[in-house]
Amino acid sequence: MRPLFSAIFACLFLCSAVPAAATDWQAVESHLRKAVASPGFIDAVLDQYQLQRSTRTAMRTHLNELYRSDEVIRALVREMRNAGIDKNEEVLNGNASAVGRRLGAELFQSWAIKGLARLPVADQRQFYAFTLEWMRVASADDCKQLLLANQQSALDNGLLEVKYYPQLGRGELNDYLALLRKAVFAELKDFPAAKKLTREQSEVADKAFEAHLEKLIRRGDATPDMLLAMGQLDSSPAPAACSAGKLLIHALLDMKGHAADLMMLKMVLAAQ
């Protein structure tokens, strides 16, 4: 599952204030700081998701932690500048919010998954444990849709993920959101150092994972439909595809030892 950052509706609301002529990016940064600190800003973001009660409280804390960060503000403005937002045709034609939603979703998704690869393996395991729990509460159709995340936009992935937040435990959701913030800040601060796998390490991980998955299959954990779905996820019925995805993540979390740590990192790197 690709990580969501619930700032996706918020990060570029300020696009409408970006002039078409030469852009004063310091003014843009100042505008962003004032915008996110203004009364009702966070509520406007949360209203986009129609969040209520404890889920809304968790997300409010999440967004406040993000937008109090100088690293986040500076990075948003830097990426807006790199993307040429001030010269974007959609923005100039009055569609700034749509551009903002797309770019915001892509940025926070990218920062989170890249940052996750910098974190200890225990944090990576927590991410996939949450993913597995999300898959258990989601409908089969939605579960399959998120497994095919690369085939849809980061914004659509985020909206789909948040749909099931109310069905998850409050503590579990708070821990997940805190993990995502930790990953984003690691990426933005460029610390800890990014991790890579050598070809030999990748081969060790693959061999160990395949052996463990085969063990689970021999034990009877997979039905014929699930086995078929592993090889053709796109065309498989949603229930079989979702069950196959859950088995693969269960196998990943069930592994032990150094090879398990390598496979966990490989999964995170593959999601980037």
Tell me the DSSP string of 122-149. Answer: HHHHHHHHHHHHHHHHS-HHHHHHHHTG
d(CA 233, CA 119): 29
State pLDDT tens for residues 206-233.
999 999 999 999 999 999 999 999 989 8
pLDDT in the model for residue 245: 95
**How many Cβ atoms from other residues are within 10 Å of residue 84's Cβ?**
10
Note whether 143 and 253 are within 8 A (CB): no
Q: And the tokens for 252?
A: 């990943």
pLDDT in the model for residue 96: 63
* Residues present in the chain in total: 272
Note whether 145 and 1 are within 8 A (CB): no
pLDDT in the model for residue 153: 82
From the CA atom positions of the chain, what is the Rg in Å?
Answer: 20
Q: CB-side exposure of 202: number of CA atoms within 13 Å?
A: 10
Low-confidence ranges of the chain (pLDDT < 50): 4-20
